Amino acid sequence: MGKVKVIIFVTFGLVFMALIGLEIYWRILGSGLSVLPIIYWMILAIWVIVAINKKLRSDNSFFWAFGFFVISAVFGIFGARFVSEIIMKISFIGWVIGIVQALMEYKKDQKSE
């Protein structure tokens, strides 16, 4: 089972890097094409898989989401709006996952009582 996880992880990582490379290439060419929505969906999948496999609690997701939010704010202050917007969207993904995890934890605590 370990080899299968490594192969999936490596394949997912290579596809992710290829999409980022395509996005950079299309930005340099000035093309109107974008793969950012696919990248955001991949980030969502990665975040959910890590949260499930590592059995992370909602406070971990909130911590990372807030960290991305602060980094985004810093980039926004220094004028890198495009980078700031991307990081802010990743932060939003983290907030949504954190809220869903918190609701699931609350439901689990209610069942145990």
Residue 44 sits at the vertex; the CA angle it makes with 76 and 3, to the nearest 5 degrees, is 130
Distance (Å, whole) CA 81 – CA 77: 8
Is 2 inside any structural domain?
A: no
- State the 10-residue block means of pLDDT for the chain, 113 residues long: 78 85 84 82 84 82 91 90 87 90 86 75
pTM: 0.74
Neighbour count for residue 33 (Cβ, 10 Å): 10
Domain count along the chain: 1
Q: What is the pLDDT of residues 77-86, one digit of tens each?
A: 998 888 888 8
Please report whether residue 4 resides in a domain.
Answer: no
Kindly state whether residue 89 falls inside one of the protein's structural domains.
yes
Q: Has residue 1 been placed in a domain?
A: no
Cα–Cα distances in Å, from 28 out to 2, 18, 33, 34, 83?
39, 15, 11, 12, 15
